[in-house]
Structure 1
């Protein structure tokens, strides 16, 4: 079994990969608030309000897959 430091494991991971994901999530929250309060379309606002959770969950999944591949390559 090979023991690696955290720096060795994170060298292949881009630290800014969540940038666009976070912006998309914030944008969808703003869009949901716009639909809910400004346009008065509460159903659409609630529907769009679920998007940030889905976007962040998918980004987390892909990030974990990337880490899993790096760990598998390390062995």
Structure 2
């Protein structure tokens, strides 16, 4: 079942998971990357832009996993 953001709260929760993963200092899990990439691909562009804004602000090192903000 695909994961899709339907609110800013959904995005905020995803960003917290990213921050916690980075804070643990472990390698970024592939299942998490795939799940978040699916949300990026399937969610409304408003939430995708919000996701990238929040990631840049709170977890910029994770951009290497997701790349730069897509044109949406």
TM-score (norm 2): 0.35
Greater gyration radius: 1
TM-score (norm 1): 0.34
